[in-house]
Amino acid sequence: MSIIRTIWSLNFQHEFYKDGRSRDFSVKPTFTTQKMLDGKRWQYRTDDDSLDLVSSDATPQIEKSLHFSVYVKNTDFFHFTDINPENGKIFWFGCDNDVVQTEQLRLVGRRFSYQYKHTDHKILLVIHDTTGTEVLRSQGVYTGGFLEFKPELPVSKTGRFIVKVLKGKRTLSEEQIFVDSDLSSRRVFGVIELLPQRFESQINLKVPFESKKESWRFYFISKTENEDVLVLKDESKPVEGNRYSTTGFKLCERPVENNLGGSEVSCFETGYLDKDQKFIPQLIPAFEENKRSLTLYRYSKAIHKVQPPQKYKYKRSRRSSRDDDDDDEREDYFNYRCIERKYWDRRLKKHLIPKRKKIYIDYWLRKKGTKVIEDVQNPSMRQIKKEVYIYI
């Protein structure tokens, strides 16, 4: 009696989520793979974060690679994931026994165009499969400083291939591509390739993703002109369930353009000062749960004048024998000392003790303020900054 069992399993994991399970993808087999599964009477099962292969064979094995297309169903996935997909390429997840390899490959149909910058007409484009067998040779046409090749693969050829540009026996360029005419017209995130292997026991694989790390900026906009001193502190404690580390904030010394609809604008940026008093930005990873315990302190340094009371009752146990002028002078002096003491009491109660405002920053608020700053001298260097605007 044959027993149906899971022979292979792949799980998507992401540190952004509290439980570590990434439910951002949908997985489907390609047309060729579906025919192979039907011929073997195997089944595939997809969950929110996993892909399973089920078989009833005693010693199941695959002779040709199986391919599954991966689609992103959560549009916010790229906002909180440390990933940088190249234009025109997809992610390839190669599963060989208990190892998962990740690369970015160019996705093309069986008819595609390939350009190489060269002027020699003797250069050839040679396509090999993964076993090293030559599949096709193509000669290019010189147009506008490039040699353009237009190879056409047979209909039965799908999967991963190696493209080489040869000049005689010398290899000028080499690149891996993934050929599938059906997937080339779709918005595919990646392809899972299960390489030929034998399943003696159940294989469990994991594809991890890391959270994007960014520097945060907070703009506090005051609608009224004041001379308050603002201090932003992170008062979080290392308790169980808090994955955020304690963050330092520094007031930006560079001027802020006052075009945000407020009278005064104060900017804080995550970072700290080193021994040489140099500002070092601090990058914060994105997590699903909110980052709390951010407190804004407002210190008022404006000096408020205290008006003397209209009536002040001065009681004395004994009547002095001085004249009336001396009595008025003593009474004014006493009033002045009491007013001065009252001023300090009032200052302690309302001005030296800061007015605190709790700020709760979650991911959805940070996402709206995303700005990508590109370096002009080096376009490949991109710095992600999060900006949050708060009116106080």
Tens digits of residue pLDDT in 89-106? 999 999 998 899 999 999
Mean pLDDT of 57-61: 86
**Over the chain, what is the mean pLDDT?**
76
Residue 286 lies in a domain: yes
Rounded CA separation 78/91 (Å): 14
pLDDT over 70 (residue 221): yes
pLDDT over 60 (residue 313): no
For residues 26 and 168, state if they share a domain. Answer: no
Residue 147 lies in a domain: yes
Strand 279-281 to strand 264-273: parallel, antiparallel, or no bridges (unpaired)? antiparallel
For residues 236 and 279, state if they share a domain. Answer: yes
For residues 44 and 173, state if they share a domain. Answer: no
Rounded CA separation 116/136 (Å): 17
Rounded CA separation 275/284 (Å): 22
Distances in whole angstroms, Cα of residue 179 to Cα of each of 140, 209, 362? 20, 26, 41
Rounded CA separation 73/25 (Å): 5
Domain limits for position 67: 5-108+183-209
Q: What is the DSSP letter of 184?
A: G
Instruction: Phi first, then psi: give them for residue 34, nearest 5 degrees.
Output: -65, -40
For residues 144 and 157, state if they share a domain. Answer: yes
Q: Which residues pair with 96 in a beta bridge?
A: 99
Mean pLDDT of 247-264: 66
What torsion, rounded to 10 degrees, do the Cα atoms 340, 346, 348, 353 define? -150
Residue 317 lies in a domain: no
More confident site: 246 or 49:
49
Residue 119 lies in a domain: yes
Region of poorest pLDDT, from 80-89, 170-179, 232-241, 353-362:
353-362
Instruction: Phi first, then psi: give them for residue 334, nearest 5 degrees.
Output: -65, -45
For residues 94 and 154, state if they share a domain. Answer: no
**DSSP E strand boundaries for 252-369:** 264-273, 279-281, 284-285, 291-300, 355-361
Q: Tell me which of 179, 197, 223 is where a domain ends.
A: 179
Please give the pLDDT value at position 322: 47
Please give the pLDDT value at position 231: 77
**How many domains, the chain?**
3
305: which residues sit within 8 A by CB, 6+ positions away? Answer: none
**DSSP E strand boundaries for 97-202:** 99-108, 114-116, 124-129, 134-139, 141-143, 146-149, 159-167, 170-179, 190-194, 197-198
Mean pLDDT of 71-86: 88
Residue 310 lies in a domain: no
Residue 67 lies in a domain: yes
Rounded CA separation 365/362 (Å): 6
Q: Tell me which of 163, 179, 195 is where a domain ends.
A: 179
For residues 370 and 245, state if they share a domain. Answer: yes
Residue 382 lies in a domain: yes
pLDDT over 70 (residue 309): no
Q: Is the dihedral angle over the CA atoms 340, 342, 348, 351 positive or is it negative?
A: negative
CATH at 164: 2.60.40
For residues 69 and 141, state if they share a domain. Answer: no
Region of poorest pLDDT, from 55-64, 104-113, 234-243, 300-309:
300-309
Residue 329 lies in a domain: no
Please give the pLDDT value at position 12: 95
% residues pLDDT > 90 (the chain) = 30
Region of poorest pLDDT, from 126-135, 252-261, 320-329, 366-375:
366-375
Rounded CA separation 194/97 (Å): 9
In a 13 Å sphere around the CA of 355, the CA atoms on its Cβ side amount to 9
For residues 102 and 35, state if they share a domain. Answer: yes
For residues 187 and 83, state if they share a domain. Answer: yes
For residues 232 and 371, state if they share a domain. Answer: yes
Please give the pLDDT value at position 381: 35
Most confident residue range from 42-46, 190-194, 281-285 = 190-194
For residues 152 and 95, state if they share a domain. Answer: no
For residues 173 and 189, state if they share a domain. Answer: no
